Structure 1
């Protein structure tokens, strides 16, 4: 059995002798640190270069059938791991240091661990929920590929796509629970099982994905797993404190959107249905999303399955999209006029200042007076 630490000692000695100012940190993590290494285990070790020259110590090699990868992590990437920009946070959080260039390097590294220790705080919740949602976008794209691909009926293709989806689900659940995984490759499930927030049927879905030989069953399990995780994200988002502020989210909004409303009026007057179609839908959904942000303190995300439209309806705004009719533009034109008046009055009632002027001279006086 290869003495992996003897190998590490050779590398560290070389660094001390030839690269003492070029490498900031050397550390190892994984099976040897966790006491579960086997005779085939490699040593998971890395270094943080302090200079461009320091990257020269990188090396991949094999000794007696055991592979080694002594790989670099730049400070910027290490900071990203600590901030959960990547999900292999354990490399920074749970490693053992073999070499440290200076006290300053050690302090910087320990600062990263301090960031990780705050991962479960309330202040990190919005950011990590957002990351959980962002990861789920890849699941939705993967699901679409499974449904659309010509090879979707092939077991190998479905299992490969399902693997990517499940991996992203694990990432998403980690972020959603404001934690990270200490073990990879076949050990996610036992860690997810201990998380407080997870799909009720997680084990059932995973069993189907892993053991079924029927592509349609695998696709269905992936779809249900994504839907359940999406629901959990929505629940977490709804549990966050809402910060209602029209002045923050809608200052300048009316002045900008009036251009789109005027464009829609012109399309109605000229009978240009294609312009009316695209502008009406973009305008209505844009207002609905911005109203949601003003009321909730955040933009609706992919976990929002149309709920953001409820505020648009609640406040009595006209349904422009339903009024699209290539044979009769007049109802839509009148609705746009109603929308302009209603939105302006709504924002005024919420204390949002509107920069509306009757002449160029009035604008000039306003603009100059701001200085």
Structure 2
């Protein structure tokens, strides 16, 4: 029996008993590319329209091959299309084998187009940075691994994030992955320096230190790539980006002030770094050189929090002065009457 015949049987069951319950059935994987072997599995998922539709999801083994006919909600499909999960290719590359109605197919194709849309380069770049940050977090475990096995285990986990980050930065998706992954990355327009060498070392080296260093260097090289090409994105006007920014940031200064008062060193340091991160995004997105501001992390001393407290006050005053010099205004109300008057004017 051909593996793909299993799909035919499943669709026949839908047409007979679940026509009103299933929106689409989608095939993924090696069968799409005619790149199979005798034990290639069949990757199928379906989108239910009713609670009853979920009952059709099941896993089984036939002729020694595992099958997973798994349900996935429209809500999750939308999240995947927005690149909130790493499995975007199940939408962009999947082949629709069945659709209940024309509206069902149209809805699926809408999410396919959404997943393929790379016009919002700024959003894709932000998502790329987030994935790279996740890779850095995982690399911490890699760096502390005591054996080659543990180092390789954590390096592979970090690689998942790095390759998804690169796909986002390049405005594309990982289509095949695994054994085809290196070829996919190398074919992208923007590739980190030394990618192939560092990537291969993680798989072939038997030395713990080399695996750790290769993963570290790959993350650093990827970050350098992003920094070099950040200017390829259109910059937004600083004034428009900064409008409304301080009205939210002011509460961070309040948190540092409170942390100093109650001697909460943890909060003081966390918030100081949060302020730095928020400002870094603002200035990077606008292509603006940031002004000289007090270094809040340098001012941090767990035993003398008053130092960071004073630095935060100075930081706030200087930032307000800078914003004002750039024509940024702040929406402030002295009391409820002023707020009410503003609401009336809307």
Q: What interval of TM-score do these two structures reach, taking the shorter chain for normalisation? A: 0.7 to 0.9
The more displaced of 236-245 and 282-291 is: 282-291
Mark the runs of 5 or more structure 1 residues left unpaired by the alignment: 301-307
Q: Give yes or no for the alignment of 1:252 onto 2:228.
A: no
3-state secondary structure, aligned to 1:168: helix
Q: What does residue range 147-166 of structure 1 map to in structure 2 within 5 Å? A: 147-148=143-144, 152-166=145-159
Cα distance in 1 for partners of 2:53, 2:30 equals: 26
Contact 2:257 2:309 in 1 (8 A): no
CA distance in structure 1 between the aligned counterparts of 2:51 and 2:305, rounded to whole angstroms: 65
How far apart are residue 255 of structure 1 and its match?
A: 6.2
1:226 to 216, 219, 224: 219
| Residue equivalent to 2:324 | 348
Aligned to 1:366: 338
Normalized against structure 1, the TM-score is what?
0.78
Choose the corresponding residue for 1:135, options 131, 134, 141.
131
What secondary structure does 1:21 align onto? coil
Shift of 1:287: 5.8
Q: Which has the larger radius of gyration?
A: 1
Q: Give the aligned partner of residue 140 of structure 2.
A: 144
Indicate how the Cα distance of structure 1 residues 236 and 325 shifts in structure 2: closer, same or farther if over 3 A, else same: closer
Unaligned runs of 5+ in 2: none
Alignment RMSD (CA, Å): 3.5
Equivalence map 1:233-312=2 (5 Å): 233-243=226-236, 244-245=238-239, 248-252=243-247, 256=251, 259=254, 274=263, 279=268, 291-297=279-285, 311-312=290-291
Change (3 A) 1:20 1:296: same
Instruction: Please name the residue that 2:64 is paired with.
Output: 65
Change (3 A) 1:201 1:23: same
Residues 312 and 86 (structure 1 numbering): CA distance in 2 closer, same or farther, change over 3 Å? same
CA positional deviation for 1:78: 1.9
CA deviations 1:318-351 (Å, max 9, x no partner) are: 5566567899999989877765654444343333
How far off is 1:21 after superposition? Answer: 0.2
Superposition TM-score, scaled by structure 2 size:
0.83
Contact 2:253–2:312 at 8 Å: present in 1 too? no
Greater length-normalized contact order (CA 8 Å, ≥ 6 residues apart): 1
Q: Deviations over 1:158-188 (max 9, x none)?
A: 1111111222211111111111122122210
